[in-house]
Every structure is written in C-alpha cells, then in structure tokens.
Copies of this chain bind each other. A is one copy, B any other.
Amino acid sequence: MTHKRVVMRRAGPPSVHRPVMIAIAGDSAAGKTTLTRGLLAAIGTDNISSICVDDYHRFDRQERKGLPFTPLNPACNYMEIMEQHLQLLAMGEPILKPVYNHHTGMLDRPVLFEPRDYVIVEGLLPLHSRLSRACFDLSVYLDPPESTRYAWKIKRDMRDRGYSEQQVRDDLRRREPESAAFIRPQRTWADVVVRFAPIEERGEVEAGLLSATVLLRPTAPHPDLTGILTADTREAIHLKLARDDDGKPVDALHVHAYASRETTQRVEEAIWAGLGIGQGLPDSLGLIDGDLRSEPLAVVQLIFLYHLLLARRSQGRDLEVAP
C-alpha cells in the first residue's frame, strides 16, 4: 500500500455539488442573526443552512481567565481548523464542528454539520485569513456605529445571557483593543459592507427603524442599480459613487428608514427581475423580531439573496426560493 496518492474525496464535480457560501462577518451583536434569518426564510431551510464560526475556541472560560486575550483574538481560537472546516464545507463535505457553550463557558461535544445548497457562515472572524476568504462566493461585513452595536449587545446579552448592563459594558471595554486589531480589519475584505444606523439629522434613534448604507465593492457582480437609482440624495433610496475610507471607489447605496413600501418595492422588483425567476419576490425579507418590518433590511437581504441565486445559477443549477 505504499506510494498512494491521497486526494480529498469530493461528492461530485465541484460545479455541481459544492454549496454557495456567503460570509456574514461582524463584531458581537452587529446584527448577523437578524440578517441571516430573512435569508433562511426566503430560500427555505431545506436548501440553506447557517453556521456560526465562533465556536473554535482553544480554551474554555475558566482557562481563559489566566490568559491575556479575549475570544476575539485569533490566538484564542483554532483558526487553522476553522479554515479547514470552511474549505471542507466549500467542497460540499460535512464537518464535525466544535461547540462552545455560552451558558456554561465550557467546550461541549462537537456536532455534525452537513452543508446544503447554500451555506451562511456568520461570526466574528470568518474573513480573517486569505484561506478562509477564498471559501466564499460573497463576503459581507456588518459595520454599525459602535454606539448602536453597544445598545444592541446590552439588550441581547441582558435578555439571552443573563448579564447585567455593567457586565456587558465591562466586557465591551475589555474586548475593544482586540476588536480594533482583529474584527474591524476584516471590513476591507468584504464585497459588501452594511451599516444600519440612525440618521441623526433626521431625528432617527437607535431604538427605532434604522437607515442602511450599503457599500458595494466592485469585487462581486452586484445587481445593476444605475438604471433605477440616481445620486439624488433627496430620494429615499439613492446610489452614489464614493470613495471608501481606504480611498478605493465603491457604490454607496442608501436606503432611508422613511422609504415607503412602494419606493423600496420598485427597487426590489428591479433587482429581482434581473434574475429572471418565475416566482415572485419572497415576502419573508425585512422582518425584525417577527412582525416589525424594515424596508432597508429587506433591500439589503434581497441583495444577498440575489448573489446567492446568481452564484447558484453560475453552477448551472435551476433557481428556486421558498414557496
């Protein structure tokens, strides 16, 4: 049995069976789950699955106490295993994913995760390395203002994880240097950067519906919006050529919170028509916490849905969304 050549098994030709993968990166409580939920509903959970890559901790909570870093630090995580697992998923292979228990702070038994046609990978560091980035058909970075994110995190962690506001604030302060060092630098690698934020000059507040600014980098085949939108900033939805912080050109799509259903629908229909699918627009987009609807969120999710379906078609597959 010597001199064997070992190659990874593949379920089939890569153009047929490999899943379409989208990364949704962002700091803790940046809105990843809300974004993901609408995509799962639109495509239908028979065909799409989501995975959080924040479980690749090297240390449990107890062990971390003596260590000089938070879970945001790559040194605190099995990054090479996260990369490996992303590569396996991109080839359509199952993984045995580690599990970090947020309640006990312990590392639990791993779980089997099998990719479906579409896989959403969300988490703190999915775009950290070149190897991990190469696994995605579309990469997204969520970039809310820190004040907005703090408000979301305090609300979420008090409700779901039983922390006091002071505990959450302490945690945020402890994490800030590593957030700056490792999380925020991922923004530059994203095809799409999304900022949900209150527009102060319009009197919007964090607790209400937020406007969205969507940077569309020319690294991905975005829907062509130039035919339906202008740079006129008096419009509730407009599209401006801009320079990003790094000086590079981007399209900046603005969807204001006050945009009417009719206005956004016109844009959504145009994006949707670009795919040429017989089915109508999914009505599961834009929902926050069940029934509250955000037009900016709907447009953002539709752009991601467009990319997922387009990438699927480029594999020669028929497109289908949830009925």
Contacts and interface: CB of A to CB of B under 8 A. Distances in A.
Contact of A8 (B87, B96, B109): B87
Interface string A71-92: 0000000101101100110110
Given A5-B14, A96-B96, 14 more contacts: A1-B136, A1-B137, A1-B191, A2-B137, A2-B220, A3-B314, A6-B18, A8-B91, A9-B83, A80-B94, A81-B96, A98-B110, A107-B109, A109-B109
A4 interface: yes
A246 B10 CA distance: 33
A259 interface: no
A106 interface: yes
A141 B172 CA distance: 55
Interface of A: 1-6, 8-9, 14, 18, 56, 58, 60, 78, 80-81, 83-84, 87-88, 90-91, 93-96, 98, 106-110, 112, 131, 133-139, 191, 219-221, 310-311, 314
Contact of A6 (B58, B80, B91, B110): B91
A8 B93 CA distance: 12
Given A311-B2, A314-B2, A78 B96 contact: yes
A311 B107 CA distance: 38
Contact of A109 (B80, B93, B98, B139): B98
Contacts of A108: 109
A1 B87 contact: no
Contacts of A220: 1-2
A97 to B, nearest CB: 9
A101 B47 CA distance: 35
Nearest to A6: B90
A307 to B, nearest CB: 8
Nearest to A310: B2
Nearest first, the 7 closest Cβ-Cβ pairs linking A and B are A107-B109, A6-B90, A81-B96, A8-B8, A110-B110, A2-B137, A2-B311
A220 B2 CA distance: 7
Contacts of A138: 1-2
B96 A88 contact: no
6 contacts: A4-B134, A56-B96, A81-B94, A81-B96, A107-B109, A107-B110
A11 to B, nearest CB: 10
Contact of A131 (B9, B87, B110): B9
Contacts of A94: 80-81, 84
Contacts of A112: 58, 78, 81
A57 to B, nearest CB: 9
A314 B314 CA distance: 43
